[in-house]
Chains A and B, each alone.
Chain A
Amino acid sequence: MPYLGSEETLKELKRALSNPSIQADRLRYRNVVLRVIRLMTQGLDVSPLFMEMVKASASVDMVQKKLLYLYMCTYAPLKPDLALLAINTLRKDCADSNPMVRGLALRNMCNLRMPGITEYIQQPVLAGLRDKASYVRRVAVLGCAKMQNLQPEAEIDGAVVNELYGLLRDPDPVVMVNCLRALEEMLKAEGGVVINKPIAHHLLNRLKELDSWGQSDTLTFLLRYEPRDEAELFDILNLLDGHLQSSHGAVATATLRLFLRLAAAHPAVQADALSRAQGPLLAMCASASRELRFAALCHVRRLLRSVATQYAAHYKRFFCSYSEPGYIRLCKMDILVELVNDENVALVLEELRAYCTDVLPELAQAAIFAIGRIGQMYSERCLGILVSLLGLRQEHITSAVLQTFRDLVWLCPQCTTAVCRAVASLEDSIQDSEGKQALIWLLGAHGDKISSAPYVLEDYIDSLKAELSSLVKLELLTATVRLFLSRPAETQDMMGRLLHYCIEEEGDMCVRDRALLYYSLLLCGVEDIRRILGGPTTDASLGVIAGHSEEPVDSWAPHFNTLELLLARGCWNAALSKGGFHSVACRVEGYPLGGLERDGNTLHTTPKDGPHSSLSLSLEPALSPESFERHWLELDVSHVGPVTCPWPHCLPEALQAALQLVQIQVLAFSRPQSLPWKAYLYSHGDGTLILAEVLRDSTQGADHLQLTMKQVPRDKHVLQGFVAVLKSALQALSRDTS
């Protein structure tokens, strides 16, 4: 940020720096330099002082030297010509008798990020690799990586790579780990450092000498090693065993990840490792550092999907405490829901009940939702609590309770009577739109059991003009029409008013279209509309959510001990849109009509084989049907082939929406039941345009698709990635709709 009078300050500093009497006084000189660095940290551009600062670097004062190196590394890219002046001093220091001076100079010389520096640093770096002081070797090894990074297009020097592989045997453990890190960066294009059997065993044997940071890095590198046979595998696991319970969380989790990876074929070993790593994880869940606590809780939350029973005995550790911030408490509530079993359900519910009156409305609501989720298994106990909460007559509580009621009625139809009784005796009005939607849905779906249903709905219809949320209006339309089916006499009049208002006066297109749709349906006759709206009251496929089965360990093990677990799923996709992993998320609207619209599960698939298959597709720039046709006719076929993939039985619109989420646009498709069925898709990936035709033919099996693709410019990897994304999306979709 610019400071007032910054030019004055700069001038004054410049004068001070070139003042011989200050230069002669070590302390005063250093103080002036300190002031410059302080300004630099604050964000002021002090690069005009570069010349004077370079001169100051010739000092013998180590503290001053370090400060000046910091300055030079920051501004070298801005003033490359002046920075070259410093090179001589640095090179001289690289030959100093004191290893500390040598290392310092070499490190900072490699940190000067400017063009043309490599020719100056190459020789000192190579000399540094053979230096007798380990401190210098550490710096030199990473210097090789920095050098490579400065000129990425240059060819990798095989001799350096060999030397670095050789230095893995260096007596200094930090040099060894630095070699791994440097090689990983330099050989990125070839898939990183190679961990073969001798290297892996060497690393495992030296693990004990490393500090915790080196250990966790090395353990991560070992992830890519594949043991030859079982005997070797178990030898390795034996060696690693002690680290599972390391007091350093990072080491314990890195070891656990390696265990899960190596023992992928031995579920019993995995389970054993998970139970033994429980100690460190639980300790981190209670750590004094709330950030560490949060990270550990996120990991436990994911672990629980596979091994809930192991942690069930420790449920009390996940009780929230008064002093914890909201995000930790939310995480703990999630975990508590997973841990519930017959023994602890009473205590967990009592605890959650206490959170329902929390000062923060978000937390109170989260606690109510948590009780609702437990209610899917222990519905009676939870209903009692939820109904009693309605007695508090707090708006946010009532709203959350109604939302859980809606879900409970949907998932556990046996609750319906009790819920209807509670809703019937509800007195307060709800203000927030989520709560209103839930209440209206309940009134519409079970209006036959709630005597006051038409009157409550009528109130909403009468105050429709003041309603802002179109979602509430949509819900109201559906509910009113459904209530009309069960109680026509009481509802007919107000339904007429509602439809009239929504068709004639409503500004929101969705609401108007929905009203028109219902109007036309009503014209078809009551029986038809009953058949359409009646639908299933409970959807079997939603059972997945209710009694969710245990996930295999491998579904999350690759992400264990990575940042991904700390972010919500959706955010991660957005966060990494630049590259790296690419996961497919699709959300399917199962029922296109009315209140039956429910979110399907959100499904994710991640291509397994690492960064190579990474691909980011995008819909931009959009392609018009005409230009699609033109391209299609002009281009040659890049790839034709069958794809075996279960076909999702859903409406083409749902398919279109789902594929759009994975950045594939469906431009045109045949009518739903026609055979052969065709669809035309396009997407952009890594600078290429991909056009595709999907053909579903009755002659081949039901799961057989013929895929014709055209691409410009051609890139086989992108094409493969596209097929993978398409396949996983279709798979996810068919799993969801089957």
Chain B
Amino acid sequence: MISQVFILSSKGDHLIYKDFRGEAKSDVVNVFYQMVTDLPADQPPVLMTHEGLHFIHVRQGGLYCVATTTANVSPFTIIEFLNRLTALIKDYCGSLSEKSVRMNFALIYEMLDEMLDYGYIQTTSTDILKNFIQTEAVSSKPFSLFDLRSVGLFGAETQQSKVAPSAAASRPIMSSRGDQEGKNEIFVDVVECLTVVIGSNGVLMKADIQGEIRVKCYLPSCSEMRIGLNEELSIGKSQLRGYGAAVRIDECSFHQAVRLDEFESYRILKICPSQGEQTVMQYQLCDDLPSAPPFRLFPTVERDSGDRLLIYLKMRCDLPPKSVVPSDFTTNLVLACILKPTTSLSQELSSPDQSAELQPSCKVIQWEIPRFPGGAQLSALFKVEVPGLSAASLLEVGPVCMSFELPKHTCTGLQIRFLRLSPAQPGPSQRWVRYLTHSDSYTIRI
């Protein structure tokens, strides 16, 4: 049972505060903020305790979403509930940010009132909640440069006519009345998270893909949707279908509303999506990538005369040419150990639109690459002046960590063959399928 729920901005402003059981006073909000900001770096902040009151919080969109309780409850329930709350705020208000919460506080109070009674979770389903919620969402400026997800999804070379405006999926589900255009839309996103570790000898040490299929539905009522995946999709290590290029995943789990009667034979998921965003399927693939990892690095580290370190990085993109353009490509070269306050850097990059700088605070050289087409090869030469360089320091350069997003690409090769709504919707409805791979952690040791 939850005693209070509150939402704080990153600066500690109270955005939402609701007390359900009268067990604690409202000044604990300030206590919480004090505790969370005073926390030493290595302490887990998820659960904190003050005078018998436990604070459990999730941090999303720069906000602290906090639940307090006095009982020894299940942490998973509370954390999942808070995550669900943030997802609902995202659905109803379009996005989760300080601004959207401020503008829609009445709606969020209304939502909390229906979701929790006396601290017990009553319902969190959009279908039920929408009957009760009567406040209309005020949507903040729909497009934001900082909303990387919507920017990253659509590169410049895509066919404009087939592409939904990038902010299309970040608007409130119930912003009904007013604007009519683009109302009956449904988005199906295949999002994969790539974790790769490549050893100093170039051997792939760990490769991991966490993927999910998300459906964001704006249709007020949708009876049934059929999502067809690759027919040759095989699940598990033993099972192989057909010859050669089968798409394989290790494990998968589905949303409880998904009906799987045609999944075994035709790889079709059936679901009646409710309004808002939901994860229909989660899957993972470990250790065995179907293709080579998208980026390769060929590093050379040398000690020049005296205190100068020469780091030559050659990077190759192994994706098919012209297929995708990674966006927001950042390479971080970690120089933790050798970095001294007096270190200075000079660089030679392979093209002028790239940039690189030394960031003493996080002890890395950051190399930003705005465009990196498939098949291309880029290089950079960093000259680092480190006073008191020793031979052993050479071994301590690296690792290189890259972060990027690959739109229109899945590493497992999972595709959506078709997307059918049945029975056909009255009025025009638009269906969008989007693919995105992003790097959770892409590390190359030197």
**Residues of chain A having any CB pair with chain B under 8 Å:** 34, 37-38, 41-43, 62-63, 66-67, 70, 74, 77, 100, 107, 113, 138-139, 142, 145-146, 149, 174, 177-178, 181, 211-213, 216-217, 220, 245-250, 253-254, 279-280, 283-284, 286, 288-292, 294-296, 316-317, 319, 321-324, 326-328, 330-331, 347, 350-351, 354, 357-360, 362-364, 366, 391-394, 397, 561-567, 571, 574-581
Contact = CB atoms under 8 A, between A and B. Distances in A.
B52 A247 contact: no
A254 B78 CA distance: 13
B210 to A, nearest CB: 5
A217 B392 CA distance: 57
B117 A142 contact: yes
Interface stretch (B11-19, B299-307, B371-379): B11-19
Contact of B120 (A181, A245, A394, A562): A181
Nearest to B77: A250
B16 A41 contact: yes
A220 B14 CA distance: 33
A83 B390 CA distance: 76
A591 B392 CA distance: 41
B312 interface: no
Contacts of B148: none
A289 B113 contact: no
Given A324-B441, A392-B337, 10 more contacts: A212-B256, A220-B74, A253-B76, A280-B253, A291-B57, A294-B44, A326-B42, A330-B42, A358-B336, A362-B42
Contacts of A213: 77, 81, 121, 124
A292 B82 CA distance: 10
B93 to A, nearest CB: 15
A66 B113 contact: yes
Interface string B27-55: 00100000000000111111101011010
B208 A316 contact: yes
Closest 4 CB pairs between A and B? A321-B441, A327-B44, A575-B49, A250-B76
Contacts of A211: 123-125
B53 to A, nearest CB: 9
Contacts of B124: 211, 213
12 contacts: A41-B15, A43-B26, A66-B134, A247-B256, A248-B256, A286-B284, A289-B58, A291-B57, A319-B206, A322-B441, A327-B46, A360-B42
B390 A393 contact: yes
A216 B15 contact: no
B46 to A, nearest CB: 5
Given A42-B13, A254-B74, A575 B362 contact: no
Contacts of B85: none
Interface string B313-343: 0000000000000000000101011000000
Interface of B: 1, 13-19, 21-22, 26, 29, 41-47, 49, 51-52, 54, 56-59, 69, 72-77, 79-83, 105-106, 109-110, 113, 117-118, 120-125, 131-132, 134-135, 193, 195, 197, 199, 205-206, 208, 210, 251, 253-256, 282, 284, 286-287, 332, 334, 336-337, 362-364, 390, 392-393, 395-396, 399, 401, 403, 440-443, 445
The binding surface of chain A is classed by DSSP as helix
B49 A63 contact: no
Given A178-B120, A392-B396, A317 B286 contact: yes
Nearest to B27: A43
B105 A41 contact: yes
Contacts of B337: 357, 392, 394, 397
A100 B42 contact: no
B79 A563 contact: no
A563 B15 contact: no
Nearest to B40: A362
Contacts of A317: 208, 286
A567 B49 contact: yes
A63 B399 contact: no
Contacts of A363: 42
A463 B59 CA distance: 48
B253 A247 contact: yes
A661 B72 CA distance: 23
A250 B74 contact: yes
B46 A295 contact: yes
Given A63-B134, A347-B205, A294 B46 contact: yes
Given A249-B80, A321-B441, A562 B42 contact: no
A562 B106 contact: no
Given A62-B134, A295-B79, A575 B121 contact: no
Contacts of B256: 212, 246-248
B392 A360 contact: no
